Structure 1
Amino acid sequence: MHKQRLIFTIFGGTGNLAYNKLFPAFYQLFQEEKFDSNIFFVAIGRRAKTNEQYRKEIETKIKQKYPDYSKKGFDAFKDRIYYYNLDFTNELHYGDFNNFMINLDQAHQTNGNRIYYLATAPTDFPSISEYLKKYGLLDTNGFNRAVFEKPFGYDLKSATEINNSISAVFGEDNIYRIDHYLGKEMIQNILTIRFTNQIFNAVWNKDAIDNVQITVKESNGVEERGGYYDQAGALRDMVQNHLLQILAFVAMEEPSKFDTDSIRNEKVKVLKNIKITPELKSHENIVFGQYKGYLEEEKVKPHSKTETYVAIKCEIDHPRWEGVPFFLRTGKYLNGREAEIIIEFKNKTQCEPFGLLAQPNLLIIKIQPEEGIYFRINTKKPRSEKEVMPVSMDYCQSCNFIYRSPEAYERLLNDIIAGDSTLFTRWDEVEAAWMLIKHLISSCTKDDYLVSYEKNSEGPIEAEFMIKSANRKWWNIEDLNNSKFDF
């Protein structure tokens, strides 16, 4: 249990993130006694509300989210929540806000310890940070940490400008750039699976691994996010952060120590050594797609060339991974909502009578919606002499009714309170990712090569061509789960 006294302030306190993710996560952490009654919350919003009105809104959201909601439990939690009406774009209001925080700090003896969570547009990050400093909100005897939601900038230039501004105020050690994907249970499990199991760690290299696939499918369209998404697209919204971070965890070298800086150092090395051939015409390395009907979505430009699907083949310039292709794909309005990492091992069995019958071994780390590990091996088919059949060992962590897998924000918020930044991206990681995306954007002209695909499909047929041209195939966990064998 955290016994640290502090005030946790959320800019954007009336947004969907605060209502649907942050406060439900805080409620669960409180119910599980991850922190005690010494932590208090201030939600910043432009609308006039009383504390009781806001607490009631939070309670409604929590009741909707958790069937086991406890009125008694929430009543113990809600008294820690305060609402403060502030137009955070107007610096003249920060003097009064500082007085409010001083009084709250004195009332609850939080020792000047503060965390500021900026769930706002990234363009607001620099000004909010500057006003907090200018009007004395950081002049306390305790720590001051700042959390910044994605997207962290629109491109390398804007990300660099934002970083320079916030670093001048808080310093890198106090900055937490949040990517909620890194809080998912099975993303955290990647290093454990690899480095604590010699059967995997010993063969985690080019000699044994044929290819790696990272898939993140979304079954929904852009919905109410058309305005934002049309400016970002799948490359910026998903690849730049989520997929590249997953790739870095999969491909990194074993760190000298399993501490925050050592892990981050190894991830940066991977990101700086990713090699992509930025050529669209052949569809052999990159495919940009847009689902049919996207142009009719609300707030989308009528002739938009924004991609809603990306598939990429890349390699990592490192002896461990020489010649091993990494395939990334993500998109909206696909035939399912799932995320997984698939490690396909080389099928080297040449001895008779098994050589032509054996299937490649597969290790699948299932991220969502089901969490777990799938491992496929070959065995002799029962009551046969020479027939070989694939069988699987399938561990479903999220199927365990006794164990409730924590939501991503629960883990990340808990780490922020503890001061552990391992699962947060350091600036050089963000910079390396944006450098790669900048290279792709400047080298690829989507106007002529943006392809369309049907809603609720696997995506563009060109993505199928891309992987087939590399003599591989996309693996889908549903197909493997639905395989039937006759004994």
Structure 2
Amino acid sequence: MKSKPPTTIVIFGATSDLAKKKLYKALFSLYRQNLLPERFSIVGVSRLEVSDADFRKLICESAGCEPDIPGLSSVYHRSLFEDANGYLSLGKILANIDSGLKACSNKLFYLAVAPKYYKTIFENLANSGLTIPCSNGEGWTRVLVEKPFGDNIDTAKDLDELLSKLFREEQIFRIDHYLARETVQNIISFRFSNTIFEPVWNKDYVEKIELKMLEKSDIGERGAFYDDIGALRDVGQNHMLQMLALISMEHPGELKTENIRIERAKVLRSLKRIENGEVGEFTSRGQYKGFREASGVEADSSTETYFKVKAFVENERWEGVPFYIESGKGMREDAVEIKIFFKAPLDCFCRNSDKDHSHENILSFKIKPRETIEIQFWAKKAGLSNDIEPKNLRFSYHSRYMPHTYSEAYEKVLYDCVEGEQMLFTSSEEVAAAWDFITPIVEAWAKGKPELKFYEKRATPDLIF
């Protein structure tokens, strides 16, 4: 088998929490599974003073490996992201790596930094010539960008125009790591590979769809970052709308990247815009008590740590079906899930005293705390009566596959990028359509509509409103 060409990943924000908690662990896991090129190098870029030896130690402490692991090359480069000379020095480091390999390595630039640095890094990468492939035509160059991509429709378009000048669309990998989770990936397979679901996946049989992303944790040490963007832009514009698109898209025809991205974009373009006068009816927002005391947060901050949005997809399949998008910090439980509520049967085989109860079927894709797929159905109770009761069928990824074939989200993100597979990454059109829906809400909230509610930590959403 022909070996894969050498690859170098340059991580801007090499000492960030994201790098230490997710990236190095994912890279080492891929390395152990022989899923990375044999000649693989990591170049870390950050403003902190760190030696090459300490950087290697940081990688292995994060990943659970020994610093002397063979075949893993690592170099640290101290530089400010806005320092143009730092990129020239970075270019020399990359040239030295290629010289030692006697080959032109693929270059993967990962931006594990706050969104405010994106434009600066993109421009410096271009001006320094680091995005130009080798003169002999060998080696690809790709860029991975973390969410949120922009903070409204205008800044998203500006960033996208800048990126388009530097890279072709097939080189740009806009990360939404929730798309790389096993249960989320399985939505398409589950829906389109089982004939019992697709015929009832529409407005005639579905009453509503709920998408939740609730966390017990607060913002921690992310005060300044979180106060700038809030919950809606942090997870609503990306993770939650992407999950909505997957659950409601049309059949892509073939399991091809371009087909699926086109169908996701169609859904996002079909979202009914919530205008300024409608935000009180279709949205709500809250902030947990104590948020304003967090480091980096303004004393009079009106940033939301909780939101709920009632959305509609205006197409033939979903006309009139509400999609509830809800997320919050400081909640009573960790719960990330998608629930499809099917309409109750017109004629229920149940006692008259139970007629008022809901006897609907519920299909749940649960992502946290455990990745499972569940179906609630109704069956006769054991015994002489004809009473019915709810039962559940459950499939668990963790119990079925871990630890052998189950892959974490960032492993899939990095592996697909190295392989050039973009199915689980958002397209330029998807980003623009998502911001087109979110921006009017953000603008209305900035004007104080609707009123910001305050809630105690460990609250449930029903107690907030």
Q: Which moved more, 1:425-434 or 1:84-93?
A: 84-93
Q: Report the Cα distance in structure 2 between the residues aligned to 1:240 and 1:332, rounded to whole angstroms.
A: 16
Which amino acid in the other structure matches residue 364 of structure 1? Answer: S
For 1:66, the equivalent position in structure 2 comes to: none
Query: Is the counterpart of residue 85 in structure 1 residue 82 in structure 2?
Result: no
Residues 60-106 of structure 1: CA distance to partner in whole angstroms, max 9, x if unpaired?
A: 2223xxxxxx64xx633573222222333111232232222112112
Q: Report the Cα distance in structure 2 between the residues aligned to 1:115 and 1:143, rounded to whole angstroms.
A: 8
Q: Report the Cα distance in structure 2 between the residues aligned to 1:126 and 1:299, rounded to whole angstroms.
A: 23
Which amino acid in the other structure matches residue 384 of structure 1? Answer: L
Aligned counterpart in structure 2 of residue 337 of structure 1, from 328, 334, 337? 334
Query: Is the counterpart of residue 103 in structure 1 residue 71 in structure 2?
Result: no
For 2:148, the equivalent position in structure 1 comes to: 151
Which amino acid in the other structure matches residue 460 of structure 2? Answer: E
Q: Which moved more, 1:22-31 or 1:93-102?
A: 93-102
1:281 Cα deviation (Å)? 8.5
For 2:345, the equivalent position in structure 1 comes to: 348
Which amino acid in the other structure matches residue 148 of structure 2? Answer: P
Q: Report the Cα distance in structure 1 between the residues aligned to 2:450 and 2:378, rounded to whole angstroms.
A: 45
1:332 Cα deviation (Å)? 0.5
For 1:410, the equivalent position in structure 2 comes to: 411
Q: Unmatched 5+ residue regions in structure 1?
A: 64-69, 464-487
For 2:376, the equivalent position in structure 1 comes to: 376
SS at match of 1:23: helix
For 1:305, the equivalent position in structure 2 comes to: 302
1:33 Cα deviation (Å)? 1.5
Residues 354-413 of structure 1: CA distance to partner in whole angstroms, max 9, x if unpaired?
A: 682672111101111200111111111001331011111111111344545321100000
Which amino acid in the other structure matches residue 58 of structure 1? Answer: I
SS at match of 1:234: helix
1:214 Cα deviation (Å)? 0.4
Which amino acid in the other structure matches residue 450 of structure 1? Answer: L
1:123 Cα deviation (Å)? 3.0
Aligned counterpart in structure 2 of residue 186 of structure 1, from 153, 173, 183? 183
Q: Report the Cα distance in structure 2 between the residues aligned to 1:135 and 1:296, rounded to whole angstroms.
A: 42
SS at match of 2:461: coil
Change (3 A) 1:281 1:114: closer
For 2:69, the equivalent position in structure 1 comes to: 76
Query: Is the counterpart of residue 424 in structure 1 residue 421 in structure 2?
Result: no
For 1:362, the equivalent position in structure 2 comes to: 362
For 1:23, the equivalent position in structure 2 comes to: 24
For 1:479, the equivalent position in structure 2 comes to: none
For 1:474, the equivalent position in structure 2 comes to: none
Change (3 A) 1:128 1:434: same
Runs of 4+ in 1 over 6 A off after TM superposition: 279-282
Change (3 A) 1:351 1:124: closer
RMSD, aligned α-carbons: 2.2
Aligned-pair identity in percent equals 34
Q: Report the Cα distance in structure 2 between the residues aligned to 1:194 and 1:217, rounded to whole angstroms.
A: 25
Which amino acid in the other structure matches residue 147 of structure 2? Answer: K
Residues 21-62 of structure 1: CA distance to partner in whole angstroms, max 9, x if unpaired?
A: 111100001111112422211111223333211111222222
Change (3 A) 1:321 1:168: same
Aligned counterpart in structure 2 of residue 241 of structure 1, from 238, 242, 250? 238
Change (3 A) 1:134 1:285: closer
1:277 Cα deviation (Å)? 4.1
For 1:126, the equivalent position in structure 2 comes to: 119
Residues 112-164 of structure 1: CA distance to partner in whole angstroms, max 9, x if unpaired?
A: 42111112232332332232233232331321111111221121222211221
Q: TM-score, normalised by structure 1?
A: 0.88
Q: Report the Cα distance in structure 1 between the residues aligned to 2:351 and 2:248, rounded to whole angstroms.
A: 31
For 2:106, the equivalent position in structure 1 comes to: 113
Counterpart contact for 2:177–2:409, Cα < 8 Å: yes
Query: Is the counterpart of residue 386 in structure 1 residue 379 in structure 2?
Result: no
SS at match of 2:340: strand
Which amino acid in the other structure matches residue 363 of structure 1? Answer: L
Change (3 A) 1:77 1:314: farther
Q: Report the Cα distance in structure 2 between the residues aligned to 1:58 and 1:181, rounded to whole angstroms.
A: 24
1:196 Cα deviation (Å)? 0.6
Change (3 A) 1:282 1:268: closer
Which amino acid in the other structure matches residue 367 of structure 1? Answer: I
Change (3 A) 1:217 1:134: same
Aligned counterpart in structure 1 of residue 459 of structure 2, from 457, 460, 473? 457
Q: TM-score, normalised by structure 2?
A: 0.92
Change (3 A) 1:349 1:191: same
Residues 154-175 of structure 1: CA distance to partner in whole angstroms, max 9, x if unpaired?
A: 2122221122112101122211
Q: Report the Cα distance in structure 2 between the residues aligned to 1:437 and 1:352, rounded to whole angstroms.
A: 43
Counterpart contact for 1:309–1:329, Cα < 8 Å: yes
Q: Unmatched 5+ residue regions in structure 2?
A: none
Residues 280-334 of structure 1: CA distance to partner in whole angstroms, max 9, x if unpaired?
A: 8895421111112222222211111111111111111011112211111100000
Counterpart contact for 1:11–1:119, Cα < 8 Å: yes
Residue correspondence of structure 1 range 458-477 to structure 2 within 5 A: 458-459=460-461, 461=463, 463=465
Q: Report the Cα distance in structure 1 between the residues aligned to 2:72 and 2:19, rounded to whole angstroms.
A: 17
